[in-house]
Amino acid sequence: MASLGMRPLLRCLHPARLTPNHCAPYHAQQQQSSSMTQQQQQPVQQTRALYTAQSLGMDKFVEQRERVKAQFGPDKERFMARIREYFRPIPAEIEKEGTAGSSSGAAACDSGAVSTANSSGSNAMVFTEDLKNVVSLCESDDDIDLCVRMMRRFNEQTKSLRFGTFVFGPVAIRLLYVLDKPDLAIQVLKDPQLAGFFDQFSSYQIAMDLLYKKGRYDDVLDLYQHMRQQQLHGTRFPRDCVVLVLGACYQISTKESYEFALKLIREARQSGALVLRKGLTFTAALALNMNEPKLAMELLALTAQINYITVRNLRLIALSHLDRYEDIFLVLRSIIHQYHHLRQGDSEICQDTLDRIHKNLEKKGDTERLQLFSQLQRALKEGNHLSTSTIDELLNRPMQQKSRDTNPPLAMFRDHRSFPSPDSPSATLRRPTLTHGANVFVTG
């Protein structure tokens, strides 16, 4: 591996100028922002991310970090010390003197990077390989300060390049994810000096997943609003980011978050964007919490995966709130007698789903239906159709990979499905669309 000391030192044509605030150590800015954030909200501790490490690329990133650490071995500290010397912060008075006399040209160099600069610090040019190595070796707050300074400099020097450069945005956010720096992730994504550096949906998805994992749901919504203002790649509704937002709305579980979720889904569908099943089930569960079972049914009808375990359980609860017990019994009988060809998870019913149906039946005082429901419960148990997970656990189960709105086990039978009866909810809610100017769905 080439050493930084072996590379030529060339002058910059336009050395970067940092404001006094940006010359301060970055972790000091982070601590100040963190204290303000903690005063504004006290989030519930969350230990579950919404996406797996594999789907976020964290496993490969950690492997790469370990590989680079092993390659450097005992030379790690010497390498980091030399990098710190080249990129130390510039005092304001020295910066003014340096910028007045800079008129020499700069030349592109090896490794897809531009040249290095004088040894005064932040004006040094950043090599792609050096920034990669710093990201892999970064551990302490001082290392993070160094990495952010290099990212700013790299972002400035590559704006005028006509050839492609390495995309560091997702890599940098993965670093902050590994080091558990949610406040810093928010700061760098909103940093004006890093404009264009994080123009990838995956950068925001990783940061939002970290915030979700930490229980900072309001920050998830705020970061999403910031991302929408950037108009990345001409879309405001990236699928995985929308799922995180709808999940955050479900966790917040207020009237405001409910209206925000409905508005988001309505706008996404009006623009032709697909809302993934995970996001729809989050919002349907939130609708049930808000005592709006009809809207929950319409939300669930927006997905093609009508037999997915979460969709089915939420639909059964909504039917019980609508006193549609004949439809409930029909679904339970079909699971007991007809769903032997499905994979195990698709034919399961959560115990808390049955408990909520039983509770609603007791309120009605319908002895005959209660007896029939008890018989169906026993049959479900004997057929191993009961899930040990709660609905909330199913909703918060991390996504293994990027979802597609399909249902493989039923794909071969899709053309042969019988049509539901005209009175069934699935018939009346077959092809819903969103109305303009209202947070409701209508059926077509």
User: How far apart are the C-alpha atoms of 305 and 314, rounded to whole Å?
Assistant: 13
Does 40 reside within a domain?
Answer: no
Residue 175 inside a domain? The answer is: no
Task: Based on the fold, state whether residues 3 and 147 are members of the same structural domain.
Answer: yes
Boundaries of domain holding 143: 1-27+73-161
Q: What is the pLDDT of residues 323-359, one digit of tens each?
A: 999 999 999 998 888 655 555 555 689 999 999 999 9
Does 379 map to a domain?
Answer: yes
Both 292 and 420 in one domain: the answer is: yes
Residues 281 and 134 in one domain: no
Task: With respect to residue 191, please indicate whether it lies within any of the assigned structural domains.
Answer: no
What average pLDDT does the segment 362-372 reach?
A: 88
Number of domains observed in the structure of the chain: 2
User: For the whole model, what pTM was predicted?
Assistant: 0.73
Average pLDDT over residues 210-238: 90
Domain assignment present for 52: no
Q: Average pLDDT for residues 28-51, to the nearest whole number?
A: 51
Same domain flag for 150 and 284:
no
Question: What is the per-residue pLDDT across 288-318, written as a single tens digit (0 to 9) for each?
Answer: 999 999 999 999 999 988 889 999 999 999 9
Calculate the CA 435 to chain-centre distance. 27
Q: Contact at 8 Å (CB) between 169 and 230?
A: no
Task: Write down the mean pLDDT value for the chain.
Answer: 76
Question: In this structure, is residue 247 part of a structural domain?
Answer: no
Q: How far apart are CA 367 and CA 149, in angstroms?
A: 71
Distance from C-alpha of 117 to C-alpha of 92, rounded to nearest angstrom:
18
Residue 62 lies in a domain: no
DSSP, residue by residue, 176-226: HHHTT-HHHHHHHHH-GGGTTTT-SHHHHHHHHHHHHHTT-HHHHHHHHHH
- The predicted pLDDT at position 123 comes to 64
Residues 6+ apart with CB under 8 A from 264: 237, 242, 245, 246, 249
Given this model, what pLDDT does residue 342 score?
Answer: 53
- Tallying the residues shown for the chain, one arrives at 444
Name the 3-class secondary structure at 399: strand
Assigned domain for 260 exists: no
Instruction: Determine the number of helices (DSSP H) and then strands (DSSP E) in the chain.
Output: 22, 4
pLDDT at position 205 over 90 = yes
For residue 75, which amino acid is it? D
Q: Which residue, of 146, 161, 176, is where some domain finishes?
A: 161
131, 161, 191 - which closes a domain: 161
Domain boundary among 161, 190, 222: 161
